[in-house]
Homo-oligomer: A and B are copies of this chain.
Amino acid sequence: MTDEKGDDEAPRIPSLEERTTKSGRLPGNRYVRIHHSSGFRRRGGLYVAEEEALRPANAAGRVYDVIRRILFGRPLSTEAEEGERLSVLTGLAILGSDNISSSAYATEEAMRVLALAGIGAFVFTTPIAVAVVGVLAIVVLSQSQVIRAYPNGGGSYIVTSDNLGTLPGLVAAAALLIDYVLTVAVSTAAGVQAISSFYPELHAYVVQVGLVFIALLMIGNLRGVREAGIMFAGPTYVYIASLAALLLYGFFRVATGDVPPAALPPLPFGTEGEVTLAGPVGALLILRAFASGSVGLTGSEAIANGVPSMEKPEPRNATITLVIMGITFATIFLGLTFLAQTIGTIPDRSEVETLNSLVTRSLVGISPFYYLVQGSTAILLALAANTGFTGFPRLASVLANDRFMPRQFAYRGERLAFSFGIVALAVVSGLVLAARNGSVTELIPFYTIGVFLAFTLSQSGLVRRWRRLRVHGWQWRTGVNALGAVVTGVVLVVVLVAKFKEGAWLILVAVPLIVALLLAIHRHYRQMQDALVIERLDDEVAEPKPPIVIVPVGRLDRAAARAIAFARSISPAVKAVHVATSEESANEFRERWERWKGKVPLDIIESPYRSLVPPLLRYIDDIDKRDARPITVVLASFVPHSWWEWLLHSQTALRLKASLLFRPNTIVVDVPYHFDHGHVPEQPR
């Protein structure tokens, strides 16, 4: 920093002579100095903007500011980031809620597929549930390894691109981006559906209620990570507690031989299935049921992805959270499956009442406790959408830092959240929800494919990593991850094949398209960087020469005089140009011009076809041909008092500016003349 003296020294503004005798060289560095009163304090050589400096100056801005603070809270400084970290307790709620909430519907999804072979096929539900929990165990194990290997946040994108290369990494990223969007859509829809189990009038408004939920989630997340965590802790723990109580009560009744009769759904599946379980078709059906049940694995990578948002020591806290999450999910999922099987609950073909609701109703009837279970499930499912809001903006920011996504995604907003990603996610997932009309089952194939594509890639990446690094125990690590890769790969293929016609093919289109888009963005930023980088920073910079200045003048008024005065103040090579539509008006203008002592030569173009912009552009071209210096066009622009007054002025200046924007080596200067500021000095002095 060049400013070494005290701050109280008065600023020194050099006189015109002083500056011009030195032929444009700076006489010193201290001629303009900032106050350190208004919103800035000094630290070292820096001006540090305080919160005060953020407040808008005008009344409308201040009203907007107050509204924004009410909605999103006070701005947080970057230093406040540590305080925004998650404990194990809030981490489980905010990062684990997606996975835990899957326990509310995973059993039902598997049973729906089995129902195609008749309700007799439901005997396979428990083995499938056990298999799903087995896969989850492998996934949790491998995620804990990811946490240790990538303590700065190890999403599938990072793990894959680090170990398998950029392209597979981008495939994983694309799959995850889709997945996060679908997480929001699926969870929101599932939450609304859960509420409609005990409030059926809502069933017709799944989309509308879903959109309101998404908007609330968006606002919550824009308020910041910690406040979102507080919002989530309640419902998550109420869900865990109420489900635990339900399971204990159920187990107790089963153990005492007091099994209640199964409550009937509005439209139960029948015994007559369309498919026989014998032969390869039956085997495929069971695989499909397994694949559907695997929806319970979704959301399990949120913790590994979000390590940096945990309290210190991040890896340890993340691992603890991960394990608690896995145990919680497995317990509720297996417990519900066991109870559904024992009671003999049959899922609802009409998708109005959930299996979870049926099991609860069988055990406790329509009691306050039933409402507690259903209510907390509904809220948790809706809030599980938040995993999308945690994952998407973070992944997008990582991609933006790697220059695969627009850099806006990398900026933290006033509340330290990645605002741009949060808003983008809310918009896109809202569109998806509306487009698919809120049906969960229809959305799940997309959702599952994305998750398992990312899992398969990151597990494969870890296999490669262990074989390369050969750390302690690399053999068993390789084995675990290879098994994980194979299992998740099988699920991927099964879902893809089973749901291909129902829309899974769309993923095969969407992922390459998104990857191509990410690569195109990357190429753009690379090219831009190449074009913009200053290769030799130490090179002497040439002495600048004053530009050629052209001032188009439509009418000789104060605004024009101001523009000309400015033009003269920045260069001695100024030329005014006027376009007249007739010779008379041209002569009239010249006469006025010569009476006026503007001291600038004037060219007049007569435009018998009455067009203004094209002849001016030609004129500028002609002048440009004669000189290599940049052409500077100074425009007098009139700033009216209110918006409707804009309409009363022909937008010639605007059109000229638009035409000049893409002209190389041309600089456009707007000299505004403010209409509303009472008396404005005719000349800048």
Contacts and interface: CB of A to CB of B under 8 A. Distances in A.
How many copies altogether? Answer: 2
Contact of A546 (B11, B19, B595): B19
A236 to B, nearest CB: 30
Interface stretch (A98-106, A120-128, A346-354, A563-571): A563-571
Residue with the greatest number of chain B CB neighbours at <10 A, chosen from A35, A411, A609 = A609
Contact of A684 (B33, B544, B600, B647): B544
Nearest to A410: B650
Given A14-B572, A541-B596, A664-B677, 17 more contacts: A1-B604, A24-B572, A25-B572, A34-B623, A46-B605, A47-B605, A57-B617, A75-B611, A411-B610, A414-B611, A532-B558, A533-B557, A534-B561, A537-B556, A538-B596, A545-B684, A547-B570
A13 B547 CA distance: 11
Interface in A314-332: none
Interface centre among A548, A561, A590, A622 (most CB of B within 10 A): A622
Interface in A8-50: 11, 13-14, 16-17, 19-20, 22-27, 29-35, 38-40, 43-49
Q: Which of A14, A24, A533, A538 has the most CB of B within 10 A?
A: A24
Interface string A415-442: 0000000000000000000000000000
Interface stretch (A474-482, A496-504, A666-674): A666-674
B622 A38 contact: yes
Interface in A660-685: 661-662, 664-675, 677, 680, 682-685
Contact of A538 (B25, B27, B597): B597
Given A26-B574, A557-B534, A672 B683 contact: no
Contact of A626 (B33, B75, B596): B33
Most B-side CB within 10 Å, residue of A413, A542, A603, A670 = A603
A676 to B, nearest CB: 9
A618 B684 contact: no
A26 B639 contact: no
Contacts of A546: 16, 19, 569-570
Interface in A631-655: 632, 638-640, 645, 647-650
Interface in A583-636: 583, 586, 590, 592, 595-611, 614-615, 617-619, 621-623, 625-630, 632
Contacts of A670: 667-669
Interface residues on A, range: 35 or more
A70 interface: no
A610 B39 contact: no
Contacts of A137: none
5 closest A-B pairs (Cβ-Cβ)?
Answer: A570-B570, A544-B569, A77-B608, A29-B601, A49-B615
B622 A528 contact: no
